Amino acid sequence: MIIISGDSWGVGEWGTDPKTRQTCSVTGPGIGQYLSLHDKVVNLSEGGCGNTDSFLYLRAFLSRFKANEKDIFYFIVTDPLRNVESLTDINQGIEQAIRLQLDRVLKKLNQLATSHKIHINLIGGVCDLDTVDITSYNNLKI
């Protein structure tokens, strides 16, 4: 089984519906629908969701579901500024505060993965992961 947690990137393709001309609607399949062509999928993603909420949804799911070695987990990492209310280290500069916010979530995510004996694959959604150092997080992969 594949388990996905994240923001709108996990929900579907967003854009303008050509029929209704309504913006901000799901206009095409998301990653969950594509992956469901090959396996069973549980999609915990929610449009506009921040990393903290995505983590909490995954944690709640794992409190009720026992993962096995065949399960594959994906976490779509979104813009850390979606949790701007919790940026407490702003006096060190905005870039450093954003990195600290992201590191806090990744640390919790790694602890969750470790406690459930799983690995979580990170997908860069509205967050570039090419400069994120995850070497200290043994249960996370980019």
Grouping H, G, I as helix, E, B as strand and the rest as coil, residue 2 is: strand
Torsion of CA 122, 124, 126, 130, to 10 degrees: 130
Backbone angles phi, psi at 6, to 5 degrees: 170, -160
Per-residue pLDDT in tens (0 to 9) along the chain, 142 residues: 999 999 888 887 666 666 776 666 666 677 888 888 889 999 999 888 899 999 999 999 999 999 998 999 999 999 887 766 555 656 667 777 788 889 999 999 999 999 999 999 999 987 889 888 999 999 999 9
Residue with tokens 């396996």: 39
How far apart CA 15 and CA 18 sit, in angstroms, is 9
pTM for the full predicted model:
0.85
Residue with tokens 């996370």: 140
